[in-house]
């Protein structure tokens, strides 16, 4: 957000707090969920997308209709051998399937079919707005078309989507079944994200309360329930949290909070990889793939001998 534009927005919200905090809350919510346009892509981002063209050409591409538009889903199949199951991959804000390439290739090499979801307003999906309700709807549709899932792998906002989809937090959508969760650089508290956003654009207390009302309007759930660490306590799904201590976009405190949800959550520190480089690191891919593959092997060994294929 340009500095001059930000100053204007802050002044407008400061005035709106006095005149109509309800309308200001609605406007702030729309600003928060506005997704970047294709025109705003940096040259580095365009180059990264170009380099992934051959990789994307290997996928089967699907467009699935949602309540208000459609989302793109990309299906990558293992090159050979018996398919181990299906993994759902969900990218973060201002991201897309191309940026998840290393993880997708890692799971495919291990024998998994991978379905990568472009969230609304990102990649090949339509729209210019994204919120938790739209994201969970897209993940639920992925489950209906391609599930069940051995694991859901989410980066950043995609990690929060994975937890909330599995927990069934958004009204109208049943919990999305998955045997494992892999959360990479994921935020723990959606309420805190809105509070940080409120301070950034100068929202007053009444406007901040109104924006919380907008979240409940679209999700059917009070904003204070969107805290991943609390949801993970209830879910008890084996979960791997991967985070870089130097992540400047999502604090390492979030990873520690989720790791404290119970013995079913394991934490792996990806030293020195920040928020985005973490996606292409070989150690991260190895940990993420190994967590799912090794868990399945342990389950197979624990079965009665006659039940193991």
- Residues 153-210 pLDDT 10s: 999 999 999 999 999 999 999 999 999 999 999 999 999 999 999 999 999 999 999 9
Q: Write the CA distances from 213 to 61, 71, 74, 216, 234, integer angstroms.
A: 37, 26, 34, 5, 25
Would you give the distance in Å from CA 291 to the centre of its chain? 18
Pick from 230, 78, 237, 261: which is nearest to 150 by CA?
Answer: 237
- What does the pLDDT read at residue 38? 85
Instruction: List, for residues 12-70, the tens digit of each pLDDT value.
Output: 888 888 889 999 999 999 999 999 888 889 999 999 999 999 999 999 999 999 999 99
- The answer, yes or no, to whether residue 306 has pLDDT greater than 70, is no
Query: Comparing C-alpha atoms, which of 1, 120, 135, 107 is closest to residue 72?
Result: 120
User: DSSP letters along 186-224, please?
Assistant: --SBHHHHHHHHHHHTT--HHHHHHHHHHHHHHHSS-GG
The DSSP result for 135-166, as a single string, is HHHHHHHHHHHH--EEEEEEETHHHHHHHHHH
Residue 34 is given by DSSP the state: B
Per-residue pLDDT tens over the stretch 234-267: 998 999 999 999 999 999 999 999 999 999 999 9
pLDDT at 220 over 90: yes
Q: Where are the alpha helices (DSSP H) in the chain?
A: 3-19, 21-32, 43-51, 53-57, 101-109, 132-146, 157-167, 190-200, 205-219, 228-235, 252-259, 282-302
3-state secondary structure of 272: coil
Alpha-carbon distances, residue 291 vs 112, 191, 266 (angstroms): 13, 29, 9
pLDDT for residue 3? 64
Sketch the domain layout of the chain as residue ranges. Answer: 1-32+190-225, 52-188+226-307
Residue 299: the pLDDT is 54
Residue 232 and residue 218: Cα distance in Å, rounded?
22
Bridge partners (DSSP) of residue 155 are: 184
Strands 149-155 and 178-184: parallel
pLDDT at 46: 94
- Decide if pLDDT at 270 tops 70: yes
Asked if 174 and 144 touch (Cβ cutoff 8 Å), the reply is no
Q: Examine the pLDDT at 211 and tell me if it is beyond 90.
A: yes
pLDDT of residue 300: 46
Lowest mean pLDDT among 3-17, 72-86, 231-245: 3-17
pLDDT reported for residue 307: 29
Residue listed under structure tokens 């723990």:
188
Of 44-58, 75-89, 212-226, which range is least confident?
75-89
What is the model's pLDDT at position 6? 81
Residues 203 and 13 sit within 8 Å (Cβ to Cβ) = yes
Fold observed for domain 52-188+226-307:
Rossmann fold (3.40.50)
pLDDT at 102 over 90: yes
Indicate the SS3 state at residue 44: helix
**Taking the model in full, what pTM does it have?**
0.92
Q: Which helix (H) or strand (E) holds 74?
A: strand 70-76
- Asked if 279 and 95 touch (Cβ cutoff 8 Å), the reply is no
Mean pLDDT of 204-229: 97
- Judged against a pLDDT cut of 80, whether residue 304 lies above it is answered with no
Quote the pLDDT of residue 1: 54
């Amino acid at each position: 957000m340009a500095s001059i534009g930000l100053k204007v927005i802050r002044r407008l919200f400061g005035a709106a707090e006095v005149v109509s905090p309800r309308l200001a809350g609605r406007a702030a919510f729309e600003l928060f969920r506005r997704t970047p346009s294709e025109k705003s892509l940096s040259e580095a981002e365009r180059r990264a997308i170009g380099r992934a063209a051959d990789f994307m050409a290997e996928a089967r591409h699907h467009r699935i209709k949602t309540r208000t538009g459609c989302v793109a889903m990309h299906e990558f199949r293992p090159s050979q051998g018996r398919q181990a199951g299906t993994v759902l991959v969900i990218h973060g804000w201002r991201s897309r399937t191309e940026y998840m390439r290393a993880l997708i290739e890692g799971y495919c090499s291990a024998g998994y079919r991978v379905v990568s979801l472009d969230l609304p307003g990102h990649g090949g999906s339509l729209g210019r707005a994204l919120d938790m309700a739209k994201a969970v709807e897209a993940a639920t549709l992925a489950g209906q078309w391609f599930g069940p899932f051995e694991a859901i792998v989410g980066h950043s906002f995609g990690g929060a989507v994975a937890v909330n989809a599995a927990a069934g937090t958004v009204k109208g959508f049943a919990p999305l079944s998955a045997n494992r969760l892999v959360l990479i650089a994921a935020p723990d508290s959606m309420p805190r994200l809105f509070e940080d956003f409120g301070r950034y654009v100068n929202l007053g207390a009444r406007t901040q309360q109104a924006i919380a009302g907008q979240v409940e309007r679209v999700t059917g759930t009070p904003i204070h329930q969107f805290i991943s660490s609390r949801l993970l306590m209830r879910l008890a799904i084996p979960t791997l949290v991967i985070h870089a201590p130097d992540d400047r976009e999502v604090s390492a405190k979030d990873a520690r909070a989720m790791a404290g949800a119970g013995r079913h959550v394991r934490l792996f520190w990806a030293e020195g990889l920040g928020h985005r480089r973490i996606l292409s690191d070989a150690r991260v891919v190895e940990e993420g793939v190994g967590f799912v593959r090794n868990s399945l092997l342990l389950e197979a060994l624990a079965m009665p001998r006659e039940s193991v294929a």
